[in-house]
Amino acid sequence: MKSNMFSFTHSLPTTIFLVLTIFLHPSNAQLNSSFYSSTCPNVSSIVRSIIQQALQSDTRIAASLTRLHFHDCFVNGCDGSLLLDQGGNITLSEKNAGPNNNSARGFNVVDNIKTSVENSCPGVVSCADILALAAEASVSLGGGPSWTVLLGRRDSLIANPSGANTSIPTPTESLANVTAKFSAVGLNITDLVALSGAHTFGRAQCRFFNQRLFNFSGTGSPDPTLNSNYLATLQQNCPQNGSGNTLNNLDPSSPDTFDNNYFQNLLKNQGLLQTDQELFSTNGSATIAIVNNFASNQTAFFEAFAQSMINMGNISPLTGSQGEIRIDCKKVNGS
Ligand code: HEM
Ligand SMILES: *[C@@H]1O[C@H](CO)[C@@H](O)[C@H](O)[C@H]1NC(C)=O
Ligand SMILES: *[C@@H]1O[C@H](CO)[C@@H](O)[C@H](O)[C@H]1NC(C)=O
Ligand SMILES: *[C@@H]1O[C@H](CO)[C@@H](O)[C@H](O)[C@H]1NC(C)=O
Ligand SMILES: *[C@@H]1O[C@H](CO)[C@@H](O)[C@H](O)[C@H]1NC(C)=O
Ligand SMILES: *[C@@H]1O[C@H](CO)[C@@H](O)[C@H](O)[C@H]1NC(C)=O
Ligand SMILES: *[C@@H]1O[C@H](CO)[C@@H](O)[C@H](O)[C@H]1NC(C)=O
Ligand SMILES: *[C@@H]1O[C@H](CO)[C@@H](O)[C@H](O)[C@H]1NC(C)=O
Ligand SMILES: *[C@@H]1O[C@H](CO)[C@@H](O)[C@H](O)[C@H]1NC(C)=O
Ligand SMILES: *[C@@H]1O[C@H](CO)[C@@H](O)[C@H](O)[C@H]1NC(C)=O
Ligand SMILES: *[C@@H]1O[C@H](CO)[C@@H](O)[C@H](O)[C@H]1NC(C)=O
Ligand SMILES: *[C@@H]1O[C@H](CO)[C@@H](O)[C@H](O)[C@H]1NC(C)=O
């Protein structure tokens, strides 16, 4: 009895403590905004200042960096896996997989950021967190919203090229399929519509939308959801048998500015990618009301975008002692 009494009075709090510990550490650790407050307090301004410098010679770079965080997070979570080059144990990289090869860009700027961060706080800040910080700084420098970036992600030891092929939506998919790919990583249609608004800046190559321009789905005609004046412009810029690599502004009305024009374009049948226009032109879809809201109220878009970027940034991070802090974002340490 005495020992039962003892174990009752002393082990229940201990048990609660252990259960809480197991639930909170390490793999269920939450990201937070103060993760580097004592180990690298200036990391956000370092990231921002390198991007500002890069923008002087490349007005597209803010868009490119924003996209990298998306392509990182959708494949094995936000773990810097996208940044690994082929070599050593990485037999195939994500950056050369279908959705990224000759398309994803900005890796050199990520390396410049990493070098600068390593100079201030060696071995402390993960490449995955640099992508999250770079996305926020890029959107904000482009005129979009700012938000408090959650931090504490660690870097993967592996890349998943087939995952990149299957998890990242392609621009010719149906809305139902894109919605399923977002849902697979815990994002709903509000997130889908808000995050698609990142196509308010940056460029797209002809090869990603030219199936809409001449003989859409074997109909012998262009995509009927393309505004006819816009269609003529696009046909000129992306002729049949022309180079599929020619660049086009995703938002011709303000190519490098982060605003809600993307949604106003959709209302005019001026979405560039098939997956853009589908958000508004898929009959009966619940996404239509969300597009209308964001088109008429930029504040609503900015608030939703910031929240959805946080949601996306929370996809399966490595935390605690999982993974590592890479010294060079392109390579697993020691390889
Ligand atoms: C909804 C599904 C999406 C599809 C199918 C899609 C597809 C594409 C494609 C095909 C391009 C052009 C790439 C090229 O020409 O090389 C592109 C560019 C871009 N995407 Fe997306 N995207 C999607 C969602 C997102 C999300 C969620 C974000 C970020 C939050 C994003 C950010 C960007 C940006 C900023 C660019 C321009 C990049 C640059 O100029 O370098 N996209 N996207
Ligand atoms: C942030 O997360 C880290 C790692 O989980 C933890 O050590 C730290 O106490 C957290 N900070 C706050 C303010 O919650
Ligand atoms: C933080 O970084 C910025 C940009 O690199 C720099 O201008 C500033 O002096 C730094 N502040 C501190 C306290 O190191
Ligand atoms: C990536 O593109 C290059 C051409 O720039 C090509 O040689 C290479 O085979 C492509 N990689 C993959 C994995 O498809
Ligand atoms: C990914 O898709 C490309 C075609 O886009 C294909 O060549 C490649 O083999 C695929 N890679 C993997 C690892 O599945
Ligand atoms: C949607 O996904 C299904 C199953 O993966 C596939 O068979 C179909 O071709 C896709 N449709 C479109 C339009 O992308
Ligand atoms: C999507 O999730 C957010 C919470 O992150 C919620 O506020 C929103 O209402 C959801 N949207 C839909 C269409 O369910
Ligand atoms: C459009 O594509 C379909 C299917 O590939 C083909 O049968 C048809 O001849 C094409 N029409 C024109 C006008 O090129
Ligand atoms: C594109 O090339 C094909 C085959 O080389 C040719 O038959 C066709 O007429 C060309 N189309 C245009 C618009 O030049
Ligand atoms: C959507 O509805 C409109 C008007 O009812 C119709 O003209 C159009 O063909 C429909 N589009 C699709 C893709 O079903
Ligand atoms: C725009 O959206 C914001 C944020 O949701 C909301 O507070 C505001 O009332 C909306 N403005 C209008 C005019 O509806
Ligand atoms: C490569 O993989 C082998 C076998 O899993 C492992 O022992 C080694 O540590 C890995 N190398 C690096 C640099 O991670």
According to the model, what pLDDT value does residue 29 have? 75
CA contacts within 13 A on the Cβ side of 162:
1
Provide the residue count of the chain.
335
Residue 299's domain is classified under what CATH number?
1.10.420.10
Which ligand 1 atom sits nearest the alpha carbon of residue 169? 5
Domain total for the chain?
Answer: 2
Asked if residue 4 is part of any domain, the answer here is no
90 has which bridge partners? 87
Structure tokens at 220: 């012998």
Q: Is the CB of 32 under 6 A from ligand 2?
A: yes
What percentage of residues in the chain have a pLDDT greater than 90? 91
Asked if residue 120 is part of any domain, the answer here is yes
Cα torsion 79, 82, 83, 84: sign: positive
Task: Evaluate if residue 8 carries a pLDDT over 90.
Answer: no
Same domain, residue pair 91 and 112: yes
Asked if residue 333 is part of any domain, the answer here is no
Last residue of a domain, one of 132, 167, 202: 167
Asked if residue 242 is part of any domain, the answer here is yes
Same domain, residue pair 157 and 212: no
Asked if residue 29 is part of any domain, the answer here is no
Cβ atoms of residues 201 and 241 within 8 Å = no
In the chain, the amino acid numbered 34 is: S
Q: Which domain holds residue 130?
A: 43-167
**For 160-172, what is each residue's pLDDT tens digit?**
999 999 999 999 9
Same domain, residue pair 123 and 162: yes
Nearest to 154 by CA among 114, 126, 132, 115: 126
Query: What residues act catalytically?
Result: 71
Same domain, residue pair 211 and 158: no
According to the model, what pLDDT value does residue 35 have? 98
H-only helix segments in 25-59? 43-57
Span from the CA of 177 to the centroid of ligand 6 (angstroms): 6
According to the model, what pLDDT value does residue 262 have? 99
Confidence of residue 136 (pLDDT cuts 50, 70, 90): very high
Last residue of a domain, one of 167, 201, 223: 167
Same domain, residue pair 158 and 179: no
Asked if residue 328 is part of any domain, the answer here is no
Nearest CA to ligand 6 atom 12: 173
Same domain, residue pair 306 and 180: yes
According to the model, what pLDDT value does residue 178 have? 98
Span from the CA of 30 to the centroid of ligand 12 (angstroms): 28
CB-count burial class (<10 Å; 0-12, 13-18, 19+) for 216: middle
Nearest CA to ligand 9 atom 1: 241
Same domain, residue pair 188 and 100: no
Span from the CA of 319 to the centroid of ligand 6 (angstroms): 34
Structure tokens at 243: 């180079």
Asked if residue 32 is part of any domain, the answer here is no
Cβ atoms of residues 104 and 306 within 8 Å = no
H-only helix segments in 75-224? 107-120, 127-141, 161-167, 175-183, 189-196
Same domain, residue pair 208 and 82: no
**For 45-94, what is each residue's pLDDT tens digit?**
999 999 999 999 999 999 999 999 999 999 999 999 999 999 999 999 99
154 has which bridge partners? 318
Last residue of a domain, one of 134, 167, 200: 167
**For 227-281, what is each residue's pLDDT tens digit?**
999 999 999 999 999 999 999 999 999 999 999 999 999 999 999 999 999 999 9
Same domain, residue pair 203 and 87: no
Same domain, residue pair 74 and 183: no
CA contacts within 13 A on the Cβ side of 265:
27
Q: Is the CB of 15 under 6 A from ligand 11?
A: no
Nearest CA to ligand 1 atom 38: 64
Same domain, residue pair 134 and 181: no
Same domain, residue pair 305 and 186: yes
Angle subtended at Cα 136 by Cα 132 and Cα 179, rounded to the nearest 5 degrees: 70
Residue 115's domain is classified under what CATH number?
1.10.520.10
According to the model, what pLDDT value does residue 28 have? 57
